[in-house]
Amino acid sequence: MHVLRGDRDLGAGEQLHCRRERDERRTHDDVGDTDLRASQLQAERGGLRRPLEHLPVPRDQHRRILRGFATAASGHIPRVAAGGEKRTVWYAVAANAAVAIVKGTAGLLTGSSALLAEAAHSVADTTNQGLLRVSLTLGERPPDEEHPFGYGKERFFWTLLASVVIFLAGAVFAIGEGTLRLISPPAKQESFLVVYGTIAFAFVAEGISFWRAIGQTREAQRAAAVPFVKFVRQSKDPTVKTVLSEDAAALAGLVIALAGTVLTQATGKPQFDAAAAICVGVLLVWVAIAVGRDTKGLLIGEAAPRAERDRLRDAITRHAGVEDVRDLRTMYVGPDSLLVAVRIDLADELPAGRVEALAAEIDADLREAVPAVDQVFLDPTGPRE
């Protein structure tokens, strides 16, 4: 937990950072108090500390006490991606790479535009999931001086890049290939049996990957105790969510390719095969927009849902000694890392010893109310003017 100090309304980023220069100037003055108060707090939790003198303290002393408490007792704990999530991504990479090779080979042999479009789809998926795997590693790095809130947003950036790859490598090629075949259709398409066999193989491989992604998502969904569809929509984790979307789109694309092949064989008109390729491209455009839209909000600083913000506010206001919550702001700095900045009005008569305990209680209750809470910034304020 961290504590901010200020006598004006929170600005566009000021409420999220302690003023480093101010703290450095006061380090020598505070270090003795900080060590003493930290040791007192630790002893109190173990039942060994003698009670502090229960005397009211000035409001500016509230800030000083909380700042010392935060310096001694707070710390960022980086969250590491689950092994199951990484295995899901690796399986998706392997499955899509194999499917891309088979689709591409069969498409070139048979001249099927739908298969070539699906091959481009699988190449895009393989590239995307490779990027997502990279993001898992990069996002695990601990905070440093240049990135004090950690590297969790790496996950959002690489997912946004994946949406661009879906559009360029998948959608553009598929629509372009289908359009060319509509303008200049081949005289005859051979080897429909090869096309059907390729689609069947792809269904099995993509279906297994899709099933694994569903299983990974359901584990988190059960823990959250919310309906599956609602969980997927509200999830801030782009990795499994993206794999799930791409695998679902892959299965839908195979259905489109199968329909185009059946109509082409039944009518003898290759335009149906070309139209199927264009439909696959349009499907990929939709997936790229959906993935990019979700990630954009997280990259620019998306807040916690209203229900979670209400739980955070309730966790603060139920404490005796908190007269008001002036401002509560949240922002996801990673898929499982929520930053909370809050301005609270403490009672003037609050004793010094109670201020320390209250800070610890608020911090613990916020994390219990919303498990994603990672960093907490408290700013005690004066009475309203």
Tell me the per-residue pLDDT of 158-183, one tens digit each, with 9 for 90 and over.
888 888 888 888 889 999 999 998 99
Place of tokens 């109310």: 369
Does the pTM surpass 0.75? The reply is: no
CB 69 within 8 A of CB 356: yes
Residue 357: predicted pLDDT: 82
What are 75's two structure tokens? 């710390």
For 98, residues 6+ apart whose C-beta sits below 8 A from its C-beta are 205
Least confident of 93-102, 120-129, 199-208, 345-354: 345-354
Question: Residue 384, exposed/middle/buried by CB under 10 A (0-12, 13-18, 19+)?
Answer: exposed
Average pLDDT of the residues in 271-281: 93
Note the pLDDT tens digit of each residue in 338-372.
999 999 888 888 777 787 788 889 999 999 999 89
CA-CA distance, 360 to 126, in Å (whole number)? 46
Q: Which pLDDT belongs to residue 360? A: 85
Instruction: Give pLDDT, residue 272.
Output: 93
Question: Across the chain, what does the average pLDDT equal?
Answer: 77
Cβ–Cβ under 8 Å, residues 149 and 333: yes
Q: Is the pLDDT of residue 8 over 60?
A: no
pLDDT of residue 72: 35
The backbone torsions φ and ψ at residue 76, rounded to the nearest 5 degrees and listed phi first, read -85, 130
pLDDT confidence band for 201 (50 / 70 / 90):
very high
Q: How far apart are CA 98 and CA 79, in angstroms?
A: 32
pLDDT value at position 340? Answer: 94
Residues 6+ apart with CB under 8 A from 29: none
Highest mean pLDDT among 47-51, 243-247, 314-318: 314-318
Choices 3.30.70.1350, 3.40.50.1700, 3.40.1360.10, 3.30.565.10: CATH for 2-76+304-381:
3.30.70.1350
DSSP-derived letter for residue 15 is G
Q: With 0-12 CB in 10 A as exposed, 13-18 as middle and 19+ as buried, what is 238? A: buried
Q: Is the predicted pLDDT of residue 122 greater than 80, yes or no?
A: yes
Cβ atoms within 10 Å, residue 140: 17
What are the DSSP calls for 243-270, one per residue?
HHHHHHHHHHHHHHHHHHHHHHHHH--T
- Mean pLDDT on 325-344: 92
**Closest Cα to residue 244, out of 334, 129, 135, 131?**
129
pLDDT at residue 22, as a whole number? 40
Cα separation, 271 vs 264, in Å, equals 7
**83-299 maps to which CATH number?**
1.20.1510.10
3-state DSSP call for residue 203?
helix
pLDDT recorded at residue 274: 92
The residue ranges of every structural domain in the chain are 2-76+304-381, 83-299
230-253 pLDDT per residue, tens: 888 888 888 777 878 888 999 999
Q: Which of 151-160, 187-196, 289-298, 317-326 has the lowest mean pLDDT?
A: 187-196
- pLDDT given at position 49: 34
Q: What angle do CA 63, 22, 31 make, to 5 degrees?
A: 65
Order of strands, sheet of 373-381, starting from the edge strand that comes earlier in the sequence: 2-3, 373-381, 337-346, 322-334
Residue 263 CA: distances (Å) to CA of 143, 185, 186, 291, 348: 56, 15, 15, 32, 79
Distance of CA 168 to the CA centre of its chain: 23
